[in-house]
Amino acid sequence: MSRPRIVIATTNRGKIREIRELCAGIPVAWVAMTEVGTPPVVVEDGPTFRENARLKAETIARWSGLPALAEDSGLEVDALGGAPGVCSARFAGPNASDAANVALLLARLEGVPPEKRTARFWAAAVVWWPDGQVDEAEGVCEGRIARAPAGTSGFGYDPVFIPRTENATFAELGTEVKNRLSHRAQALRRLQLLLLKRIGAGHP
């Protein structure tokens, strides 16, 4: 019996790699959008991570005819009133690089003492099925923002985010630790339980 196929609704290579690693225990075939064709552009204008993840998952599921998994995540910094939030990927501009986003974040936090640099990563993961059914889960990782980037692992804000239980950034801690602690790992672990139930029930 062939495994059900689920499209990963992102072009971010770091996210694709993490999703495949974190969901390796689910008996499905994970498909990149480029294996299906040229995906439509999804305007992520929702006010929450969950709404943006739902928007991406539904759009790609309807386009591909396959169930689609979308994940939306970002960083909330207390000293910045919750920014960059849902604008995390485009904090420094529509096509900003990770380095540019990190540089702007650190510039905005210039002079802010360590005890006021509290922050958290949020993640919402959604699978939208072609028949309109939806599975979704969220995860959060509390921490603080470092004064300068450190480490070479990961992507995005990983070089400046220090999880609350650690004394090093995600980029220093490496993949194994990040995949245990991260917001995305938490959301996908919860989503896995829902997917296993659905697949066990014969869906799709």
Write down the number of H helices and E strands in the chain.
6, 6
Q: How confident is the model at residue 44 (pLDDT cuts 50, 70, 90)?
A: confident
Residues 163-185 have a mean pLDDT of: 93
Q: For 134, which DSSP code?
A: E
Over 70: is that where the pLDDT of 203 sits?
no
What's the pLDDT at 168? 97
Over 60: is that where the pLDDT of 204 sits?
no
141-153 residue pLDDT tens:
999 999 999 999 9
Residues 128-136 have a mean pLDDT of: 93
Radius of gyration from C-alpha coordinates of the chain: 17
Handedness of CA 122, 74, 70, 152 (dihedral sign): negative
For every residue of 173-192, DSSP letters joined together read H-HHHHHHHSHHHHHHHHHH
Share the mean pLDDT of the chain. Answer: 92
The larger pLDDT score, comparing residue 180 to residue 203, is at 180
Model pTM?
0.87
114: containing domain: 5-200
Rounded to an integer, what distance in angstroms lies between the CA atom of residue 148 and that of residue 160?
Answer: 6
**Which of 44, 183, 62 lies closest to 124 in space, CA to CA?**
183
Q: How confident is the model at residue 169 (pLDDT cuts 50, 70, 90)?
A: very high
In the residue annotation, 72 being an active-site residue is answered as yes
For every residue of 89-121, DSSP letters joined together read GGTT-TT--HHHHHHHHHHHTTT--GGG-EEEE
Task: Count other Cβ atoms within 10 Å, centred on residue 90.
Answer: 14
The total number of structural domains in the chain stands at: 1
The CATH number linked to 123 is 3.90.950.10
Over 90: is that where the pLDDT of 21 sits?
no
Q: What is the 3-state secondary structure (H, E, C) of 142-163?
A: EEEECCCCCCCCCCCCHHHEEE
Over 90: is that where the pLDDT of 65 sits?
yes
Options 72, 131, 135, 158, the catalytic residue: 72
